[in-house]
Amino acid sequence: MPANDHAHTRIIALAALMQTSKLVDDIARKGICDGNDFHALINSLFTDTTKPEALFGDNSHLQVGLLLSKHLLSGENVDQAKAIMAYTASIIAVEKKLNKDPDMLQSIAAGMQRIQKQATYFGSSSHESVIGGIADLYGKTVSTLKPRIIVHGKPEILRQYSNTNKVRALLFSGIRAAHLWRQHKGGHFRLLFGRKKLLHDIDTILKTL
């Protein structure tokens, strides 16, 4: 794959990770998140490709994540910055561990095939029954890995079944994005020492929106 394709995909993956982390925090603290941003991330779980345009559709669906990535890499003050960075780091760590567990990966693939039939039946990947199915699969697989991703928020919000399901489904989409990030040579080293290039690539994509 050409270097510029790797660079483009890295940015899309990073934006999806940041957007996932923000929405997880939104739900945990407020009980709500943007529906369109949520749907774009969940939809990626049902797309069997590594091409970012096919995973997330138009780049505008990740505008929130792109802007967050730009602001955080630039060192600007960002609301929720601490939570977003903590969730992003945790998701990347869990994906790395998951990638070394072929049996769990196979269980997830089989589970997602069953859930995809639900999504087709209901006509939406964001239907509450589909989100419930994804959340249940997360609980039986990824949630058993140690250390777990700990979500902090208001207990009365996180106790609500629908909110817990949305958070777990989002974390699954974040793991998909983390896999894409690692596949295309993303990593802690690049975040620490390759910020100038990442910011340039983010700006290039933002100009097309």
Residue spans of the domains in the chain: they are 3-206
pLDDT value at 189 more than 70: no
Q: How much is the pLDDT for 13?
A: 93
pLDDT value at 199 more than 50: yes
Q: Please, are residues 192 and 70 in contact by the beta-carbon 8 Å criterion?
A: no
CATH number of the domain located at residue range(s) 3-206 in this protein: 1.10.3890.10
Q: How much is the pLDDT for 155?
A: 97
Going from the C-alpha of 183 to that of each of 9, 14, 18, 65, 176, the distances in angstroms are 9, 12, 17, 19, 11
pLDDT single digits (tens) 38-75: 999 999 999 876 576 678 878 899 999 999 999 999 99
pLDDT value at 11 more than 90: yes
Query: 3-class DSSP state for residue 31?
Result: coil
β strands within 148-201, DSSP E: none
Binning pLDDT at 50, 70 and 90, where does residue 1 land? very low
pTM: 0.94
User: How high is the mean pLDDT of the chain?
Assistant: 92
Q: Please, are residues 136 and 115 in contact by the beta-carbon 8 Å criterion?
A: no
Q: How much is the pLDDT for 81?
A: 95
37 vs 74: CA distance, rounded Å: 23
User: In this predicted structure, which of 51-55, 116-120, 143-147, 201-205 has the lowest mean pLDDT?
Assistant: 51-55
